[in-house]
Structure 1
Amino acid sequence: MAPITHVLSFKFKESTSDAEKHLLASSMMALQDQCLLPDSNTKYLTVTGGKNNSPETFHKGFDCTFVVQFDEKDRQYYLDTDPAHQKFKELVGPHVDDIFVFDFTPGVF
């Protein structure tokens, strides 16, 4: 199966403190170690990301972006079932005004 690149950007609420933003970003990065396949208890994704630092003005108010990579067969488990991801969604939900998600298969147009 082809790998999927899952791009995720957060626009935090104005009321979200810098400390909370740091905790949420760290929690997102930690999913790389916390998300495990139930049948084999093995890691199945990679995560990288960071805070916007572009000098261009096209970020549309989004604060940070993450890039998650996993196999296509594991995407639905990640989105709907993985307990670590579900816990993260509950943690981040109250702190965001907007979320941007874009998935693609590299080289497929």
Structure 2
Amino acid sequence: MYEHLVLLKVKDSFTAEQREETVKKALAFKEEVPGILGISAGVIETENPQHKQGFALALRLTFEDKQACLHYDAHPAHQAFLKEVGPYIEEIIIADYPF
């Protein structure tokens, strides 16, 4: 299996409603993209600013293997998601690893 972790730091203009809608769209990947075994996403609620570091959204996707993760990256649903959310993103941290 292969894990894909994503943290998004978004601009202040990205509203709470937009954040919640982004989470819903990310969760829909499981039905749209082959090879996803599990997914979770949410608005970060960490209170301590040292821990949160300005990041607002977190996603975790578990894939069958690395190839499925690579397929997801190029999948039209993911690309459309990036195009829509991209203008609001200040920083992204991504960590991929097999387990």
Q: 1:68 aligns with which of 61, 68, 83?
A: 61
User: Which residue of the partner structure matches residue 17 of structure 1?
Assistant: 15
Letter in 1 for 2:70: Q
Q: 1:91 aligns with which of 78, 84, 92?
A: 84
Give the C-alpha shift of residue 101 in structure 1: 0.4
Residue 19 of structure 2 contacts residue 57 of structure 2 at CA under 8 Å; is this kept in 1?
no
TM-score by length of 2: 0.87
Residue 7 of structure 1 contacts residue 101 of structure 1 at CA under 8 Å; is this kept in 2?
yes
State the alpha-carbon separation in 2 of the partners of residues 87 and 55 from structure 1.
31
TM-score by length of 1: 0.79
State the alpha-carbon separation in 2 of the partners of residues 98 and 73 from structure 1.
25
Structure 1 regions of 5+ residues with no counterpart?
37-43
Does 2:75 correspond to 1:77? no
Report runs of 4+ in structure 1 exceeding 2 Å deviation. Answer: 53-57
Q: Write out per-residue CA displacement over residues 83-103 of structure 1, whole angstroms, 9 at most, x where no aligned residue.
A: 111111111101111111011
Question: RMSD between aligned alpha carbons?
Answer: 1.4
- What's the % identity of the aligned pairs? 22
Q: Count how many residue pairs are aligned between Structure 1 and Structure 2.
A: 96
Structure 2 regions of 5+ residues with no counterpart?
none
State the alpha-carbon separation in 2 of the partners of residues 99 and 16 from structure 1.
15
